[in-house]
């Protein structure tokens, strides 16, 4: 890897050191370091208010950093905002479509803001409406579209300039399962064609499917980093035994089972027992006369990592 004098990896599409964001007296991002390589799919996970959107907006050059250093495509957002924004696509967490324009006009006008020619945006709009499956609504106003359709349009709009880097802040929130799967597949293809993806999500299955590498943020800091599989290996056990109880009664059984697992997570209606061999643990649980409503043996997922890192665990 080549490094410039400033210590930045110049093959990195995004590179942040001690990155901070302060709003008045509140520090939303409290000094984070990360790098995103070209062509990578990079995910930001974390509970509400962790600072994911604040970080995304700094990368998108729509929010100035208040500390640390940041390079996007090798440039500093503070001084080269327009040049960076010309080469990235942004899908913000809340849609900000142009409500006075039609679906087609939204795409065309937005393309024009990038300095693209009329002929180019005309063709691009047709292509992107197909991508978003909105061709039959092409000349309709945006306002009456359903929430999911608006979301699809916002995502399509983020592609109008053929971006090298696509920033997606909770892209699939509000999409139906079919639309989600379709989007996953399209994002996957974008990635294959060399586009760098940076996304936030609250869907752990989505993060597992899409991301090569993840960071988990909490309280403005990065608390873990790695590939989905690596994180599961590092922060969870191989298997999980889920014991479901009547909501509220689950805490009664904690003391009876806590020595059977490496870790026990208490959710409102169930206990999660983290162990190497969940079947064996299940057998020992029933020996102790603990009778859950139902029980389930499964592999660990990213959700378990998330709970461990950002939730509260009882036994560690």
Q: Which residues bind another protein (CB under 8 A)?
A: 23, 60, 62-64, 78-83, 85-87, 90, 92, 96-101, 105, 109-110, 112-117, 119-120, 124, 127-128, 130-131, 159, 161-164, 181-182, 184-186, 188-190, 193-195, 209
What secondary structure letter does DSSP report for 200?
E
Read off φ and ψ for residue 263, nearest 5 degrees: -160, 145
Q: Which is nearer to Mg ion, 35 or 169 (CB)?
A: 169
Tell the smallest beta-carbon distance from residue 218 to ligand ATP (Å): 9
Tell the smallest beta-carbon distance from residue 102 to another protein (Å): 10
Mapped onto helix, strand or coil, the DSSP state of residue 192 is helix
- Whether the CB-CB separation of 142 and 101 falls below 8 Å is answered with yes
What secondary structure letter does DSSP report for 134?
-
Among residue numbers 10 through 69, which ones bind Mg ion (CB under 5 A)?
A: 52-53
For 207, the token pair is: 């993060």
Q: Is 173 in the site for Mg ion (CB under 5 A)?
A: no
165: which strand partners? 88, 196
What secondary structure letter does DSSP report for 26?
E
Tell the smallest beta-carbon distance from residue 145 to another protein (Å): 16
Q: Of the candidates 53, 108, 172, 196, which one interacts with ligand ATP according to CB under 6 A?
A: 53
**Pair type for strands 213-218 and 41-45:** parallel
Using the rule CB under 6 A, give the single segment among 41-49, 73-81, 139-147, 245-253 that binds ligand ATP. 41-49
For 279, the token pair is: 């079947």
H helix intervals, the chain? 52-59, 77-85, 103-113, 118-131, 147-157, 177-192, 204-210, 228-235, 254-257, 278-287, 302-310
User: Tokens 């359709």 map to which residue?
Assistant: 149
Q: Which is nearer to Mg ion, 159 or 199 (CB)?
A: 199
Per-residue contact string for residues 188-227; x = within reach of ligand ATP by CB under 6 A: ----------------------------------------
H helix intervals, 158-216? 177-192, 204-210
Q: Which is nearer to ligand ATP, 53 or 237 (CB)?
A: 53
294: which strand partners? 244
Give the largest CA-CA distance in the chain: 73
Tell the smallest beta-carbon distance from residue 140 to ligand ATP (Å): 29
Among residue numbers 67 through 106, which ones bind ligand ATP (CB under 6 A)?
A: 93
Q: Which does 46 bind (CB under 5 to 8 A by kind): Mg ion, ligand ATP, another protein, none?
A: ligand ATP
Q: Which is nearer to Mg ion, 14 or 28 (CB)?
A: 28
Q: Which is nearer to another protein, 124 or 263 (CB)?
A: 124
User: Tokens 């869907």 map to which residue?
Assistant: 203
Q: Which is nearer to Mg ion, 44 or 121 (CB)?
A: 44
How far apart are alpha carbons 76 and 87 in whole angstroms? 14
Q: Is 275 in the site for Mg ion (CB under 5 A)?
A: no
39 φψ region: left (φ > 0), alpha (ψ -120 to 50), beta (else): left
- Whether the CB-CB separation of 20 and 65 falls below 8 Å is answered with yes
State the residues that interact with Mg ion by CB under 5 A.
52-53, 93
State the residues that interact with ligand ATP by CB under 6 A.
23, 26, 28, 46, 48-54, 93
């Amino acid at each position: 890897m080549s490094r410039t004098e400033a210590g930045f990896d110049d093959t990195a599409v995004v590179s942040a050191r001690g990155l901070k964001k302060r709003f008045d007296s509140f520090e939303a991002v409290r000094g984070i370091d990360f790098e995103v390589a070209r062509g990578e799919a990079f995910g930001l996970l974390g509970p509400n208010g962790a600072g994911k959107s604040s970080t995304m907006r700094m990368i998108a050059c729509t929010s100035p950093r208040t500390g640390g250093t940041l390079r996007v495509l090798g440039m500093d957002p503070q001084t080269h905002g327009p040049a960076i924004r010309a080469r990235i696509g942004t899908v913000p967490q809340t849609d900000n479509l142009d409500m006075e324009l039609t679906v087609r006009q939204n795409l065309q006008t937005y393309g024009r803001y990038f300095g693209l020619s009329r002929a180019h945006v005309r063709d691009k709009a047709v292509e992107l409406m197909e991508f978003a499956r909105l061709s039959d609504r092409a000349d309709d106003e945006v306002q009456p579209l359903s929430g999911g359709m608006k979301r699809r349009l916002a995502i399509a709009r983020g592609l109008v300039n053929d971006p090298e880097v696509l920033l997606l802040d909770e892209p699939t929130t509000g999409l139906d399962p079919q639309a989600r799967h379709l989007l996953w597949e399209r994002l996957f293809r974008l990635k294959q064609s060399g586009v760098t993806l940076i996304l936030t999500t609250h869907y752990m299955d989505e993060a597992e499917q899409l991301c090569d590498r993840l960071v988990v943020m909490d309280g403005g800091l990065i608390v873990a980093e790695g590939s989905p599989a690596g994180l599961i290996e590092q922060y969870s056990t191989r298997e999980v035994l889920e014991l479901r109880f009547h909501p509220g009664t689950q805490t009664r059984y904690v003391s009876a089972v806590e020595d059977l697992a490496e870790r026990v997570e208490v959710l409102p209606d169930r206990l999660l027992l983290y162990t190497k061999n969940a079947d064996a643990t299940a057998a020992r649980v029933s020996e102790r006369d603990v009778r859950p409503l139902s029980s389930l043996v499964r592999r660990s997922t990213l959700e378990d990592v998330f709970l461990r890192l950002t939730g509260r665990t009882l036994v560690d």
